[in-house]
Structure 1
Amino acid sequence: MARVITVGAAQLGPIARSDSRARVVERLIAHLREAKRMGCDLVVFPELALTTFFPRWYMTDQAEIDSFFEREMPGPETQPLFDEARLLRLGFSLGYAELTEQDGRPARFNTSILVDRDGRIIGKYRKVHLPGHREHEPWRRFQHLEKRYFDVSDTGFRVWRAFDGILGMCICNDRRWPETYRVMGLQGAEMILLGYNTPVHNPPAPDHDNLSLFHNQLVMQAGAYQNGCWVVGVAKAGDEENVPMIGGTQIIAPSGMTVAATRGDGDELAVAACDLDACASYKTTTFNFAVHRMPQHYGLITERKGAEPPP
């Protein structure tokens, strides 16, 4: 019998800086209810789904910065989301800013969790590839201070046996790096859950702006195909605090083909029935790592007559 998991990619439209957690959680719950109506088993929410994308502002007041972070999960404001998911028997993945303590000091991560149908957290991932910059750069139209506000991951890329398959998670900028998919692919990942908040405008490279959606789709499709797994990429979309976000939420098959996608830039659900057994067609043929992958040769340099030595 095929192992089919029906996934809802729950795109969010803009979240204002003034929006309360309660208001945002109501939107997430609405997604859960629609996903249940459409027969979903798992709902995937974007990166930093509970707040506006706060790294676009330079802040020096630590209390103000920490107001965007969750000190516990679930907490009083997010418990209704877990309760509704448990009632509906739906799993979900959620991105948020996590404030915790390590070795007696505060630690802050860009985090995603995987929650089962019983409302239990069964997986946690903290973002590895933090983009942007650390110090205030006034020349930018908006800031991108993830390096300032977040610590680099201490989890690395892992997978979890859940929903009758092998699932992994990554966040936003992680999707641009082939190692992200490959590390999870080497662990047998059959589906990767990926939330992001990506502005259309790239201040250091504005010539990339009209390629933003293309690059988004390119890296996710390549990651899916080259590792024989499903990729569920879910956006925060629309014009958020005068910063247009790219959207482009989609569910990608192990073939690299997009099988479901959102059409607009608001709250919208893209749904696909994902056959996890379809991964085998790629994992046992073209991308059979055990048979065809040759990492022991990757560092070899073949000397050619007349060729310049490497720098």
Structure 2
Amino acid sequence: MALTKVEAAKLTDDMLLRGVIETIVMESPVLQRLPFMEVVGTGLTYNREATLPAATFYEVGDTWTESTPTFTQVTTGLKILGGDADIDHFLLQTYRDPNELEAIVIQSKAKAVAHAFLATFYTGDASADPKQFDGLRRLVPASQTFQPGPNGGSLTLELLDQLVDLVKPGKPDALLMSKRTRRKLSQLRRQSGTVLESDVDQFGQRVLFYDGIPVLVDDFVPDNETLGTGTGLSSIYAVKWGPSGLMGLENGGIVVEEVGALETKNARRWRVRWYCGLALFSTVAVARLQGIAAN
């Protein structure tokens, strides 16, 4: 069963773990919405639809011919993400509330774990670093990627509509972009005589909408991409979440473990670890508008 990290936090009675999950979730609108699948083993192998079977019209008495779809087998491995947090015994003994101190330090480490996941969510490249999973930059196929020009170019509403139309079936569940690109989009809407619609989501945050699609602004969408001779460029990703689109993978969820007292250091160590990955079940469930200039 797929759960978002928001829902997973509700299922634990461990207040420390719940605080860690909530800290991780609040670092990005992606982690608030990305569903996660529990994987048994070290990875997931699945069949991605490559071609549809044929269908045609027949006369009465015609001989019917059989055809089958073809699939591409894809394997996505889980990666080990985490970090250790040491808390000095002197501080634990002298701090007014040692439990509060531990929670602060552990949640700071949880924030670092979230940042590492989100950076990899967009720019991860397992061929360059086998320790990490492939992010959207690698997962979106060339057939679902287009540019304003060979060296990038300015964002237009027509380009954004083209991006939306690449995602099938139906509309994307979200448009992921940087703050800089969001500002440009707002400017384009004002110039066209309309503004982006807005509403409050389930987290009490105000979210913008473009043609009914949530515009999720994420600090981890880079503004320093290159294309041809163009530099300082960014991308917009259109995504569908879920088992027919994009999902996170994990085994055992986020774990907060007390390692204990250290031999060579007057401190106690905690470890935050997450066996995680990212899977794209349909290549038409995502699309990328690459090479968006600042102006």
The TM-score bracket by the shorter chain reads under 0.3
Could you say which structure has the higher strand fraction?
2
- The TM-score with structure 2 as length reference comes to 0.23
Larger radius of gyration: 2
- The TM-score with structure 1 as length reference comes to 0.22
* Higher RCO structure, 1 or 2 (CA under 8 Å, sep 6+): 2
